[in-house]
Structure 1
């Protein structure tokens, strides 16, 4: 009799235990989802860098901003985006004052203080822009030796160009933004400017100078990926899991055409 009762109790308890376990799994899943939904990343980026990032009133605008916002939405997290000068962007990522920032080129130093996503937010192309009737040519770096060239403050322009600038073979004059560089070019204070192609084209359109300033055919360097970096120093819950989720979703955005669509919204 005891064996029969024990057997019956086990038969009754087993499905009950199974239900309890199932409810626990559901509860944990819901709780995890709520936790992720409540997680917030404080990100920094550069202002006045159209078409990639800029501030319009209290709103963040640009190709990279829209990509990051969509990436955060798909990753079920909230992202606060703030604007800083570029050197400050890098400083806040390095120190952990911000959780991360975008969009930065990969360097050995940045790898030490940041987790860099697998795919870039955009590919950057840098060219030499000159006044339309300029006799300046650019086929090799030596063509720029002895010339005064403008570029944006704190930006890298490619290893070969940067080495020549540090060595003093190219006289580099830095300005706070692309409009200041264009103004210097138009005033003949520089013979050329090395800047981001997309940014410069949009600014020239705005200033109605497309018929007066042209880009030289050869890029200063090969198009280079610019990435979202998550700070190693920042205190972020489940940082490895978050980075994995961001990588998966960003890759999906390339695969499903989202990245291309966002670019077309700004460039067409």
Structure 2
């Protein structure tokens, strides 16, 4: 009996020793927080694991100005477009519900800074002035800024001909900024909506509109009296705006934007909304 008990004790001690050995690799496989091993990895991994701050739990609130087809526009009661398609991908990657709010363009940044929205998307140019108040994502779209005139306009044949003319722009856009700064002799007509600017040109209140090329193409489809000059005024690049300091959200959006660009999805979204 003593021999049997001794054998049982030896077996138990051996099993415990093996269990202890087996647990050591599991402990060493995770580097302690702050170590060089823990800090390595891709930026997309960091973005996916970071806890992004959003203004409402479970939701990702996007503010836009839905008069900028094909980027954002109304289809019935719903806001759709290239930017909305991208935003849906971002929300899905974060496991959140996308909420789209249509507001005035010049209210987008104040809305973000007031904590009423998570990010702004509306063909927004990355400018030094805006970078002082919000953080921007990587550039995800490049666009030409063009001049729209009436077909029978003989005074404006090239973009440089806008000098000294009555120029309609959307309030707060890069066109508003550039025309104000680079063409001080122009009479600037600032409108909240491009449809109002189109009416200004058709009625003779304005000589032309300066705006993004893709929305301009959509505008002239609906207003056959108007035409786009062949030569662009300048080239523009777009980003998405988030509140300053919200680095986790910025990283997550950037990761999705880069993935979509690498896969050609943004070009696909653009084609889908311009071929209708």
| TM-score for the superposition, normalised by structure 1 | 0.78
Deviation at 1:247, TM superposition (A): 1.4
When the two chains are superposed, the root-mean-square deviation of aligned CA atoms in Å is: 3.1
Match of 1:148 among 151, 156, 166: 166
> Are 1:151 and 1:173, in contact at CA under 8 Å, matched by a contact in 2?
yes
Residue 57 of structure 1, CA deviation: 4.9
1:47 — aligned with what? 66
Once the 2 structures are TM-superposed, how far is the Cα of residue 203 of structure 1 from its aligned partner? 2.4
Is 1:136 the counterpart of 2:155? The answer is yes
Whose Rg is larger?
Answer: 2
The counterpart of 2:219, out of the listed 203, 206, 213, is 203
For residues 183 and 39 of structure 1, the distance between their equivalents in structure 2, rounded to whole angstroms, comes to: 41
Contact 1:105 / 1:226 at 8 angstroms: preserved in 2?
A: yes
Is 2:272 the counterpart of 1:254?
no
Q: Distance in 2 between matches of 1:129 and 1:75?
A: 40
Q: Counterpart of 1:125 in 2: which secondary structure? A: strand
Query: C-alpha distance in 2, partners of 1:164/1:17?
Result: 68
The normalised TM-score by structure 2 is: 0.76
User: What residue ranges of structure 2 are gaps of 5+ in the alignment?
Assistant: 1-5, 30-47
Query: Is the alpha carbon distance of 1:75 and 1:119 closer, same or farther for their aligned partners in structure 2, counting shifts above 3 Å?
Result: farther
Unmatched segments (≥5 aa) in structure 1: 23-31, 234-238
Structure 1 partner of 2:146: 127
Q: In 2 relative to 1, CA 242–182 (structure 1 residues): closer, same or farther, beyond 3 Å? A: closer
Cα shift at 1:4? 7.8
How many residues were matched structurally?
244
Instruction: Show the 5 A alignment for 1:1-268.
Output: 6-15=13-22, 39-103=58-122, 104-120=124-140, 122-137=141-156, 139=158, 141=160, 143-157=161-175, 160-165=178-183, 167=184, 169-207=185-223, 209=224, 212-222=225-235, 224-232=236-244, 239-268=246-275
SS at match of 2:83: helix
Q: Deviations over 1:205-242 (max 9, x none)?
A: 224x1xx32111221211x1221111126xxxxx4344
The C-alpha deviation readout for 1:98-124, integer Å capped at 9, x for no partner, is 22111321122322332211132x333
Contact 2:158 2:229 in 1 (8 A): no
C-alpha distance 114-11 of structure 1, shift in aligned 2 (>3 A): same
